[in-house]
Every structure is written in structure tokens, then in C-alpha cells.
Amino acid sequence: MIEVQQQEYDVVIMGAGFGGVCQARHLLLTIPNIRVALIDPRGEERTDKDLKIGESTVEMAALFICKDLGLQDYMIENHPPKFGLSFHWPKDPLKTDSINDYYHIWSNRQPSILTFQMNRAKFERNILEMNTKMGAIFYKGRVIDLDLTPGDAIKTINVKVGEQYINLKAKHVIDAAGSSFIIGKKTNNLLFKPAELFGVDNGSAWVRVKNVDRAIFNNFYSPYGGTCSRYYVTNHWFGHGHWLWMIPTEIESMELSIGAMFHRDVIPDDLINTKQKFYSFLEKNHNILYQIVNSSDGVDFHYRPRVARMSKTLFSKDNWYVIGDAAYIFDAFYSTGTSMTCVAIESVTEIIRAKLAGEANAEEKRTAYNNFNLRFARIINQTVSHHAKQLGHASVMSWRIYYEYMVWFGIFLPMYIGKWHMDLDYIKKFIASADSIQKFVDELHNQFTQVVEQGKNIGLMDCFRADQLFWGYHTLTHFDDFLENTKYESKRSNLYKSVKYTYLFQIIWYNRFRWKAFGLPGLLAPKYFYHLLQWAVRLTEVTVAEFIYYLQTKNLPDNTLIEKMRQEFKNYQYRPELQQWWHKT
């Protein structure tokens, strides 16, 4: 028998996975006295039977977890560090026995923002426990049905807890239950067809293994390769129509998650959908990974026939929300799933806060955040369109990765650091420019495919090195000193400056690509001049925005707390004395 402590809540979250527990903690930290309940059929104790792919965080998610959720020490003490992404293509598809049989783009230095290889089961268990200590109520149960009443009317969630059925009432309902799609199915809110998803039609198979023989991977050690671990990165392995990840998820047990994302028009489901078939695939196409999994103790195998999906609405006017895998996922290529989830969590918290407070612009925020998160997700996930034809082509993929790194580090990361994604005026500008940029990216992908079909080698672009373009630029360059001067408050980082210089280097990159791929005709094509004109317009717009930003913020301190300390320090006087710490006898 369950003793229901409180049956009506401000927020009920369905699902206590990564998205659910992070959303609950963010609500509890942000909104005083908020009443939150979580529902999940899994108990508070998670075991090895709780299948997880493993999770590789990138900068946005790491910042959110460490800063906004206050979990930096916890992450350092409980989850392996991550040193970026590395990329590997076979020199000869018939010979993949050792690391020396691959071309590489290595992550070559310590990251400026600490990221992590996350053990998902441990993270979810620990944060759920923290949430309940903060006052959240957890129900180990399964959602049977829910009544999504219109507008601000109270919602009802029918839950089976053991042998008992209970009804939970809520002002707001959040679906963080992943592929159960509780709200998605209830509201016909899901898109699955490849034509609706940039043509992406992919599946995934993966294993977790423990006690691996790391020497199989690390026997190539060279002191000249870089300053960071090559094991504690997310290693990507490429081939025709597929890529594989290799992620360390535990330090003590030497646990690895190794899995494949494959495209059906190249690799049919029935050739990779069992553990035996998956291992055979590794043996023939990436024998080094086959040796690694064979050297270890198997934990589990999992297969997901359909990965890509998208929701039509994320945050409804009827006070329901979908986040995480329940909202969208296309591919895990850049490990951006948790980052998109964290952006959505911030949006949901602010919508709920504004609505509970009765603020006049609460609905305006909901509309803006819904539109932003939908568009942001589509832009991020457009990075996997046309992959089926391009993944195995080392030259083309290296150019593509370079460009996509420029966007991530030059535009999206500064946007996130300054919380620009929460600003309604910026969202309007973002949405207004998104269509033309997405059209350009789609055409760029078609140009990549032309190079693949022509069998050209246009060189290897290394996204980490500073000798690829001009003036020492590399994709990790940031053009505003938000790291050095801790400009982490809302809109204190100069996003427009970052965007302006990123556009300039994108123009240089595009000129070089067109020359390498298509020669002089590529530089004389009308479409080429059209894109240059569009970039010139964008540069003008963002330069004006940068100047306006400067005028608005020139008298603001970079960081309020540091400025307060500096003001206090004006009264500092050197006092060379010690306080008595002994007792006189």
C-alpha cells in the first residue's frame, strides 16, 4: 500500500531518466516551494540491468550540470573526464586490426570547458536521491493514462504503483519518459518518416563491456601527439553508411560503451540486429573494436531499430511539455542530445515559473521558447543529413566536421554561455535568420555528396589545429573573453562579436572548399556569388547588432560578483598583525 503524501502538485514529471531528474532539480533550485513529483517504473536503485548507451556530454550540457544544477564537484568525483571527440577512418577497409590502420583527427589538448563521460545509471540514481531530499516526491509506478485538459485546467495522471492505482493532479505535466512517448502518442505529436527528418533513416546497436584490455587501443602511445588522454575522449570510427562510438563510462571497472549508428539504405536491420551479428560486423569492418570487446566481460547488448524522431510541439499552451528523447533525437553523432535537453529544461522552468507567478508575458515566453527549441533542434540535427553517403569519405567528412565545429564553438556555445537563448528579442533574430542558413547548409551537403561521387580527395581538415586557415584560427577559438572574464551572467558575453568573426572565417573556409572541390569554375558559379552576398548581408546585420550591444552594455560589469569585490577592495588597508590564538597563563 502506498501512502500518498500529496496528490496535487505544481509539476508532475513522467520519467526519472537524465531529462526528468535534471528538470526536477532545476525547478527545485529555481522556484521556491514548488511541489514536484516524478514517476518512473524503475526504482530509486538502478542496476546493470538498467540499459544505457552511455553518455558523452559536450560543453552546453556540462556547463548546465555543473553551474546551473550545482553538480561540478559531484561530476568530478563520480564520472570519467572527457577530452573532446576524435575521429578515425580506415586507410584500407580490408585492414582495421590496429590504430595505425586508420587516418585520425585527434583531440590534441585539454579542453577549456570541462566535460564528462557519464555513467547514466549512476547519475540518474544519485540525482533522483538528491531531488527527494530536496522535497520532490517519487512514485515507482507506470503511467496508465492522463487527461491533458486544455489551458490552465488541472491535469490528471493515472498511475499504477504496485497493485494500487492512484490519480495525481498537476498544473503542469512534463514527458521525460523517452521512447514511451506518453504525450506524443496521446496527442499525435510525433514525426517518424524520413521525409520529415532530413531524410534520416537510421538505427543503432551497442554493447557495454567491462575489464577491457586498453592496451589494444593504447599500444600506439606517442609523446608528440597531444596533451590529453586519447582513451577518455569520445572516439568515432567511420565506414560506409555508419559510424561507431567508443565511450568509457566507468574508471574502476574499465567499462566501455561501443555502438554503431547505421543508415538503412546501406546496412539493412537484419544484418546487425543481434549481438552475434554486431560482433561479426565489428570483426569485418573495425577489427580493433572487435578485439577490444572480445578482450572484455560483456554487460549487455541492445538494439534500437528506429532512432530519428521529432515532436511537432515541445511546449504546449495547455501546460504540457516534452523534453529529452521524448521530444527529439536524430543521431548521437556530436553527443548533443543532453545539451538540447538542458536548453529545453531551462525553457520549461522559465515558462512554469512565469505561469505560476501570473506574469503577463508567460504565454509569449512559451511561444518563443517552443519555436526556438524546435528550430535549434532541427539545426543541430541537420548535421546528420546526407550522412549515409558521406561518413566513409575521410576527406569530405573532415571538411564537414570542421564547418560544424565552427558553428558550435563560434555561435552556439557563446549563445548558451550568455543565456541568449532565453532572451525574447534574440530569439526573434535567431528564427528570422534560420531559414536562409539551413538552406545554405542543405546545399553545402549536396556539394559534399558531389565530391564523394566524384571520388575526389580534397585534403584532410583537422578541426583542432590552428594551421588550417589563416591567422592562427582554429574551431575552438572564442572571440569574446567570456572564459577569461567569467561573463556567465545573462547577455554579458558579446555574442554578436563571436558571430561576426565566425562568419568571416566561414567565408574563408567556403572559399577554400569551393577551390579544392571544384576549382576555378566553383569560384565563378552564380550560386557561389549569391552565398557571398548573403554572408555580406549577415555580416552587416551582426556588425550593427554588435555596436548596439556595445552601447547598451559598455557601463555594465562583466561579472557582478567580481565587480562588488573590486568595489569592496577600494577600502582595503594592509594590517600586519595576527589575532591571538593562545591562552595566557
Domain ranges of the chain: 1-79+119-191+311-383, 80-114+201-304, 398-580
Indicate whether this model's pTM tops 0.85.
yes
- The predicted structure's pLDDT at residue 219: 74
Quick check: 131 and 34 in contact, CB under 8 A?
A: no
The rounded mean pLDDT for the chain is 93
**Rg of the chain over all Cα atoms, to the nearest angstrom:** 25
Highest-confidence range of 66-70, 115-119, 550-554, by mean pLDDT? 66-70
> What angle in degrees, to the nearest 10, is found between the helix axes of 394-407 and 495-524?
150
- Determine the CATH number of domain 80-114+201-304: 3.30.9.100
Quick check: 256 and 209 in contact, CB under 8 A?
A: yes
Q: Is the pLDDT of residue 3 over 60?
A: no
- The 10s digit of each residue's pLDDT in 216-236 is 998 776 778 888 899 999 999
Quick check: 295 and 212 in contact, CB under 8 A?
A: yes
Quick check: 168 and 2 in contact, CB under 8 A?
A: no
Q: Which amino acid is at 478?
A: H
- The predicted structure's pLDDT at residue 432: 92
Quick check: 329 and 307 in contact, CB under 8 A?
A: yes
Percentage of residues in the chain with pLDDT exceeding 90?
Answer: 85
Mean of pLDDT values over 158-186: 94
- Determine the CATH number of domain 1-79+119-191+311-383: 3.50.50.60
- The predicted structure's pLDDT at residue 226: 85
Task: State how far the alpha carbon of 435 is from the alpha carbons of 325, 346, 375, 442, in Å.
Answer: 25, 24, 9, 11
Quick check: 38 and 20 in contact, CB under 8 A?
A: yes
- The 10s digit of each residue's pLDDT in 409-452 is 999 999 999 999 999 999 999 999 999 999 999 999 999 999 99
Distance (Å, rounded) from C-alpha 177 to C-alpha 320?
A: 13
- The predicted structure's pLDDT at residue 44: 78
* Cell (9 digits) for 378: 532541427
Among 381, 380, 323, smallest CA distance to 178 is for: 323
* Cell (9 digits) for 24: 526536477
- The 10s digit of each residue's pLDDT in 21-48 is 999 999 999 999 999 999 999 887 766 5
What order of strands is seen across the sheet that includes strand 309-311? Answer: 190-191, 309-311, 328-329
- The 10s digit of each residue's pLDDT in 289-318 is 999 999 999 888 999 988 999 999 999 999
Mean of pLDDT values over 353-375: 97
Distance (Å, rounded) from C-alpha 58 to C-alpha 416?
A: 12
Mean of pLDDT values over 340-364: 97
Report which DSSP code applies to 17.
S
Length of the chain: 585
- The predicted structure's pLDDT at residue 53: 59
Distance (Å, rounded) from C-alpha 329 to C-alpha 18?
A: 14
Q: Is the pLDDT of residue 6 over 60?
A: no
Among 205, 220, 231, 267, smallest CA distance to 97 is for: 220
Quick check: 24 and 131 in contact, CB under 8 A?
A: yes
Q: Is the pLDDT of residue 5 over 50?
A: no
What are the counts of helices (DSSP H) followed by strands (DSSP E) for the chain?
17, 20
